[in-house]
Amino acid sequence: MRMRRVPQTYRNIKRYRQIISVLIKYGLGDVVEQLNLGTYVEAGRRIITFKRRKHEIVKLTRAKRLVLLLEELGPTFIKVGQFLSTRPDLIPPEYVKELKKLQDEVPSFGFDEVKAQIESELNSPMEDIFLEFDEKPIAAASIGQAHTARLKNGDKVVVKIQRPGLEKIVNADIDILIGLATLAEKHIAEAELYDPVGVVKEFAGTLYKEMDFTREGHNMERFAINFPDDEVFYVPKVYWDLTRKKVLTMEYIDGIKVSELGRLEEAGLARKIIAKRGADIFLKQVLIHGLFHGDPHPGNIFVLKDNTICLLDYGIVGRVDDQTRDQMTRLIISIIRKDIEGIVKVFIKVGVIDVKIDLRELRTDLLEFTERYYRIPLKRLDIGIIVNDLFEIIHRHRIRIPPNLTLLAKALVLMEGVGRELDPDFDMIEHTRPFIKKMIRQRMAPKYLIKSLSKTLNEYEELFVTLPKDTIELLGKMKKDQLTIGFQHKGMEKFISTLDKSTNRLSFSLIIVALIVGSSLIMQLDKGPLFLGFPVFGFFGYSIAGILGLWLAINILRSGRL
């Protein structure tokens, strides 16, 4: 992955201007002002001053305008929106709801470009590789598009081709996003907790991985290994000799989309069984293998004969390690027992909590959350609503959760939605109960407790071994006056910047006053070369003072702060 940090870059000035223009168009000029973008892109001031937004756009909510804005800015920003829709710990619920509607559908690119990309990546003419190749794509998205084809040996395949020039566009947009995130950290005090630059880098890492089709191929192989010869779950075969970073060739799946209910019934497939098997497969991915499909929406789920399920598009996958699984178990046990302190401890353990957080208020909100769903029959519970309520508390108290947990929550809600679409009586919580019981039994088993105790003792052993040495080294540095303690101020950048500007203006004003006073003294002396009867140097000093004074006044007025 290539990361380049170029704050306020002028290399992408045209793209900056476009972003500012679109922000203003959708009534988000305050964002431009907050980020102080006009300082770095001069055209921003002219846009803010003269360009008016359409009346129809003003009527839309801010969240809806954000969706339209991201769609207009193109593929990278569409992906930003989709990424943020999986991070309810970072943005308010109303924004998450709207961002989930973002469509990753763009016009397809021409067959000439498809042919050039394939031949460049595979180093062979298409005629030598394929017996047939359908020039019309079966799907097109911001990353690439897919075509059906037939190999020389007769195998029917799907070829996924990356959009030409995508890497260059993404690199430029990531540069800009890092620049904007840097400005947010500098000018918006509240942004510090959310680490905007870190979030952009996290997004960039996810996007660059998704753009590498060999990663997707390896993900498919890993799922196939986790479910060997499984009768209810099938993973398409990858043709590695025809797969590269920008081209993925995989087995063609002749199935029915899980959302096509009519076709499922016509084919004699059982919707209730499909719903149950889908939930089983997902829970096994998470709780047994620790590797799960990150985007199981209906378009990525196909049903084959005998109610076998096949998942497509393995570009986004999530991982759950033993420690995360342990914390999930603790959280579930704490919610069941209404143990508020236990829930808070899990949040502290897995999340990033602001030191200014009001723990009393957090405990009150969590108590209300647990009581809201206490003793309610499982069939009346909706995982989507429960997850949304929990993440609303997390966002309100500015708790940051690891990305894999938010991705897991999104995938879980998607699977429940698919299950209920297939079977209105489908109960994801009831279906999850045996897995939860198994997790709790494993955690309470003597083998687990001994392992946990052994791990703790090992950590203490390491502490006892290193502590004396570290203490002696610290005391030695103190004796030799070599101990240095560094302090780093946070949240004062905006104040320092404002103070710096004020000081510069004051200094500039003093220079202007000095010019005026000096010129006045020269006028009184009536010596040196004259112009229209006045000393030239005095006249020249007044002129410079007037120009500088006018320039200072204009800048103060343009800043909006008199």
Q: Which of 293, 294, 218, 299 is CA-nearest to residue 253?
A: 299
Q: What are phi and psi of 52, to 5 degrees?
A: -105, 145
What's the rounded Cα separation, in Å, for the pair 35 and 288? 45
What's the rounded Cα separation, in Å, for the pair 280 and 225? 17
**320 and 290 Cβ atoms separated by less than 8 Å:** yes
Query: What tokens were used for 253?
Result: 């799946």
Q: Which run of H or of E encompasses 256?
A: strand 256-257
Specify which residues 400 forms β-bridges with: 352
Q: Which of 329, 277, 349 is CA-nearest to residue 306?
A: 277
Q: How far is CA 233 from CA 253, 307, 310, 419, 538, in A?
A: 13, 9, 6, 16, 90
What 3 state SS string does 288-299 have? HHCEEECCCCHH
Determine which one of 295, 313, 365, 427 is catalytic: 295
Residue 424's identity, in one-letter code, is P
Judge whether 427 counts as a catalytic residue.
Answer: no
CB environment 476-507: b (16+ within 10 A), e (fewer): eeeeeeeeeeeeeeeeeeeeeeeeeeeeeeee
**541 and 518 Cβ atoms separated by less than 8 Å:** yes
Is residue 353 left, alpha or beta, with left meaning phi > 0 and alpha meaning psi from -120 to 50?
beta
For the annotated catalytic residues, the residue numbers are 295
